[in-house]
Amino acid sequence: MAQMELAGMPRRLFACTPSRLAAFEDCPRRYRMIYLDRPRPPKGPPWAHTSVGVSVHNALRRWWEERFERRIPLRAAELLRLGWVDEGFRDPEQSQRWRERGVQMVRGYVAGLDPAAEPRGVERSVATRTEALAFSGRVDRLDDRDGELVVVDYKTGRRPVTDDDARTSPALALYALAAGRMLRQPCRRVELHHVPTSTIAVAEHTEGSIARHVRRAESVAADAVAATEALRAGGDPDEAFPPRPGSLCSWCDFRRLCPQGQAAGPVRQAWDALGEDPGPAAP
């Protein structure tokens, strides 16, 4: 049974990141495999869309680390090619086509940026505590605009982002809370930057909207703690951490270990999330 908290003792906080909270909310069984099972079950092969996302994020981080005079679109293209992650693709030709598509993404995106607008942080680690959480995470970019902080998160998927995506994102709200507390500046605006289309989705949080996101995160954390305590007390792992079959199962790293996940959707190739291949790169 769960250990009782002693009167007068501080409450133990749930250490978490956005990924950890999302993993439990998406599928408790997947959460258990990632964070609790030891040894951890082997993951499936790498995904090509993850390689594209990592490559673009790394190129944009390194672009901001360049000297001011080198912050030009051509340099972004060079950094993308230099740091290209060549994993999960069908063959070298597909990888090369997507590398050049990545070049187009970052060149077009940085062409719309002011290279002199120095961010407050790039890949900035932030952390804070609530009554139940010890939260930490890493913000893609943290801008300082007219004395207020702005959380910027890059997206590289096929679907353009919307203002509703920004408003309902638990990660962005918690980043805003943590950044504002750490740097002691107002932080209410959060943005999703869709790099392929250079479009921006925006949400302006209030104390109330951030509080709602915190309550939701604390509720997810409480469920994760209860399930973990049940497992450690000898409970059935599949009862404490039941699978949550759905469309995400086709993309799960642990699908082959989960009968319910295998039945939930079709098998996906490692490059399927990319969609239609871009045409040959221009010479």
- Tens of pLDDT, residue by residue over 175-190, are 999 999 999 999 999 9
Distance from the Cα of residue 132 to its chain's centroid: 22
pLDDT tens by residue, 15-54: 999 999 999 999 999 999 999 999 999 999 999 999 999 9
- Give the Cα separation of 58 and 84 in Å (integer): 9
Q: How far apart are CA 175 and CA 123, in angstroms?
A: 12
How would residue 4 be classed by pLDDT, with cut points 50, 70 and 90? very low
**What are the domain boundaries of the chain?**
25-118+243-283, 121-213
Whether residue 104 has pLDDT greater than 70:
yes
pLDDT in tens, 61-101: 999 999 999 999 999 999 999 999 999 999 999 999 999 99
Provide the whole-model pTM.
Answer: 0.93
Instruction: Please give the residue that has the higher pLDDT: either 238 or 279.
Output: 238
Give 213-224 pLDDT, tens digit per residue: 999 999 999 999
In the block, which residue shows the tokens 């702005």? 150
The single residue listed with the structure tokens 């893609």 is 140
What pLDDT is stored for residue 8 in this prediction? 54
For 191-201, the pLDDT digits (tens) are 999 999 999 99
CATH architecture of 121-213: Alpha-Beta Complex (3.90)
Which tens digit of pLDDT belongs to each residue from 125-153? 999 999 999 999 999 999 999 999 999 99
What pLDDT score does 1 carry?
A: 37
Find the DSSP H helices in the chain.
Answer: 18-26, 28-35, 48-65, 73-82, 92-111, 163-168, 170-183, 207-232, 237-240, 259-264
Distance of CA 19 to the CA centre of its chain: 6
Per-residue confidence band for 265, with pLDDT thresholds at 50, 70 and 90: confident
Q: Do the beta carbons of residue 195 and residue 76 sit within 8 Å?
A: no
